[in-house]
Amino acid sequence: MKNKVLIAVDLSEQSGSIIEEGITLAVKMDASVLISSIIPVYVDYLQSQMALIPTQWDEIYVAQKEHATKELNKIKEKHPEVDIDVYVEVGNPKFDVIEKAADAKATYIVVGTHGRTGLSHTVMGSTAEYIVRHATVPVMVVPMDRKEH
């Protein structure tokens, strides 16, 4: 069975470096790549606070999926030498990355950190930390800021 690297990104500023690190790893391993972006489902209380009707949320999610798919396909086109698939879905990134890695039979997962600390880390949680703790395959974590601290 050929190795597969699942690269999970949120299309933030650092996603490019996470993807490049993942592709570099995949090339060294002669692995295929699955670049994944899970669009977070907004929590119920935010929906009620924003007073958007469900069809408006559907339109927002469709637009976000289309944008993410377009951006990830640009990455795929830049690397024709690598077997790359793109996966974009709406869901919960913590759980869905783990599930997608299992479904795709990924041998490695590559994620990045946002470098949140203190209250924001506690309130928002850490997707990367959750994936590291619950993955059944090795996880490579790409730090947000590569400067010395």
Number of domains in the chain: 1
Per the domain annotation, does 147 fall within a domain? no
Residue 54 falls inside a structural domain: yes
Average pLDDT, the chain: 85
Task: Give domain status of residue 136, yes or no.
Answer: yes
| Any domain includes 100 | yes
Question: Is the distance from CB of 91 to CB of 107 less than 8 angstroms?
Answer: no
pTM: 0.85
The mean per-residue pLDDT over the stretch 127-145 comes to 91
Residue 101 counted as domain residue: yes
- Domain assignment present for residue 58? The answer is yes
CATH of residue 64's domain is 3.40.50.620
Closest to 12 measured CA to CA, from 116, 140, 129? 116
Long-range contacts of 26-32 (CB under 8 A, 24+ apart): 26/82, 27/81, 27/82, 29/3, 29/5, 29/107, 29/108, 30/2, 30/3, 31/2, 31/3, 31/4, 31/5, 31/107, 31/108, 32/2, 32/3, 32/4, 32/5, 32/82, 32/83, 32/84, 32/85
Q: Which domain holds residue 35?
A: 4-142
Q: What is the pLDDT of residues 23-79, one digit of tens each?
A: 999 999 999 999 999 999 865 545 555 555 656 778 888 999 999 999 999 999 999
Does residue 64 sit within a domain?
Answer: yes
Higher pLDDT, 141 or 51: 141
pLDDT of residue 45: 44
* Residue 148 belongs to some domain of the structure: no
